Amino acid sequence: MNVYGDAVAVLDRWRAPDDEQRELLTTYRQHLASRPDGVFRGCHPDHITASCLVVSTDRTQVLLNLHRRYGIWVQFGGHCDPTDDSLAGAALREAVEESGIETLDLATPEPVQLSTHEVRCGPVRPSHHLDVRYVAVAPPGAVPVVSEESDDVRWFAVDAVPDGVDPPLRRLIFLATVTPVRR
């Protein structure tokens, strides 16, 4: 299966936990139904992206990166590549590339959250990332490395994330650390 087919299948079987997530799910499904290129960067104005929040094994810390272009603390993630087989695989690939931690494991093969945000750069505006968010667990003692896409990569206690972290990411942190993510 390719990443587009996987995205359709994942979103068809995912059960949104609330009305806001159900609305986003409907939007994402409609997007994919109308755009066979909807998982790739070249799809304008909007496209599906895959991201991954990295948590410590004991779920007391989260690993965030200070995004070089946007200057804000975010989870790892980005665009799907034509070589990706799945959304989960794309999210995990991005997390490994951007964190430098080679031994991450997905907490669950299913997404934990959907979140849409405006893209502040690019050839068409307004445009949006239709982000499908996963959670990965880092092994004990994992030491991150700053990639080209980040100004910093750092562990934060769950109750001490930086100011300016947006509400959807705060919710993802809650879902990944306070609420057990099923395996």
Of 149 and 19, the one with more pLDDT: 19
DSSP string computed for 47-67: EEEEEEEEE-TTSSEEEEEEE
Q: Compare 39 and 182 and report the one with higher pLDDT.
A: 39
Q: What is the pLDDT of residue 180?
A: 56
What is the pLDDT, as a whole number, of residue 182? 47
For residue 181, the model assigns a pLDDT of: 53
Average pLDDT in the chain: 92
The per-residue pLDDT for range 159-174, each reduced to its tens digit, is 999 998 999 999 999 9
Closest CA to 104 of 92, 88, 112, 89: 92
CA–CA separation, 74 and 58 (whole Å): 20
pLDDT: which is higher, 45 or 123: 45
Class level of CATH domain 3-177: alpha beta
Global confidence as pTM: 0.94
Where on the phi/psi map is residue 164: left (φ > 0), alpha (ψ -120 to 50), or beta? left
